[in-house]
Amino acid sequence: MKAMMLKNQNGSALIICLLSLAVLSALGTAALMVSTTNQTIAGNYRKQSQAFYVAEAGLQYALASIKDDMTWRGDTSYSTTRDDMIIGNITASYEVTTHDSSNDSFGVYDPLIPGGYIKLVSEGVFQDSTQTVETMVSISPNDSSLADSKNKAVITSGGNTGSGIHVVNGYDDDGNLASDMVETYADLPTVNQDALRTFADYSFSSLTNTEVGTLSGQTDFFKDAPQNDQPYIIHVSGDVTIGGSSDVYGIIFVEGTSVVLSGSVRIHGVIYAPNASITTTINGGGSPGDQPVMGQVISGSGGVHASGNHADVQLVQDYVDAFNNFGGAVVNVDPAPGSWRQY
């Protein structure tokens, strides 16, 4: 009986079928899990790719806007949001933020973003995915387009006055006193003021001895003389009042109505103050050969005024040439090589 029971194979097929079904179910479950995971990965990749393309669209929009108008900063001071992009039936959006000196609450240009550069950061959003791309934009003068400042020590749309018999004296590039170096009641040169604002290395609400103190390490008109011809550019949205024994180098673009240089101040560069309706005062307390301004003075309807003898301005041709180059009507706008990144 025992031997017969051992030889009996009834039900073995059922066991084999059940085992096979279990194995197949496990394989099916694993395949389903793999398929679901792959589908999830593919879906996430698709959303991330779409978010990246949306961010890239925002970056390209910003680049096109800057090329059309270099002062573009978006719908607000720093950014613009475009939330009307439709992909399929899904609304996507991007936000582009500009970073340059105007973001600095202290009024000083960020040294990590030098004059002539703007950083663009574009964030793209598609469903629950976010991708960000950024690049630095280089803005450079176009050598074929120059401002038209004349080779004069002083150009003003006002007069030339002074204390007693003294007036502002003009010297040529060789250091010779010449009456034709001061041009009064003249048309001021045509200058691209937006370009100067964009190229500026420093920006102040006013320029006094306090702000000049932050420029103490700046001891040449050109940034890397004689290797290049890029000048320091200082943008002043208000007035200039400098005294003492300060030395200031570079192009000083003054949007205010008053410029006063007193004491033994020396300006090594170009003072461009087209809105100066108050007399631009130049101290004459120095001695011959110690001109308060080495470069050029361009002043508005207030004219220029000598506060004493030797209120001298000597033309420096290299400085005027640099001013004309950076104040030209046309600029080049290009993404800076190696600055693009995604995260």
Q: How many CB atoms lie within 10 A of CB 310?
A: 18
The four Cα atoms 107, 337, 329, 316 give a dihedral, to 10 degrees, of: 70
Length of the chain: 343
Q: Which of 314, 302, 313 is nearest to 160 (CA)?
A: 302
Give this prediction's pTM.
0.76
Q: H or E stretch including 33?
A: helix 12-68
d(CA 127, CA 114): 36
Q: Specify whether the CB–CB gap between 162 and 195 falls below 8 A.
A: no
The residue assigned the tokens 């059940």 is 18
Tell me the two tokens of residue 211.
Answer: 């702000």
Alpha helices in the chain (DSSP H): 2-7, 12-68, 193-199, 209-213, 317-326
- Give me the average pLDDT of each 10-residue run along the chain (343 residues): 58 73 76 66 77 90 86 67 67 84 46 76 89 90 90 96 87 93 96 88 90 87 81 93 91 96 92 95 72 94 90 94 92 87 89
Sign, CA dihedral 56-62-66-67, equals: positive
Query: 87 has which bridge partners?
Result: 90
pLDDT attached to residue 36: 66
Tell me the two tokens of residue 270.
Answer: 């170009």
User: What type of residue is 343?
Assistant: Y
pLDDT attached to residue 117: 82
Q: Which residues of 143-182 are buried (b: 16+ CB within 10 A; e: fewer)?
A: eeebbebeebbbbbbbebbbeeebbbbbbbeeeeeeeebb
d(CA 295, CA 186): 18
Pairing type for strands 341-342 and 312-315 reads unpaired
pLDDT attached to residue 77: 57
Tell me the two tokens of residue 238.
Answer: 């208000």
Please state the domain extents for the chain: 44-142+336-342, 154-326
Backbone angles phi, psi at 188, to 5 degrees: -75, 155
For the segment 219-251, what is each residue's pLDDT rounded down to a tens digit? 999 987 777 788 999 999 999 999 888 899 999
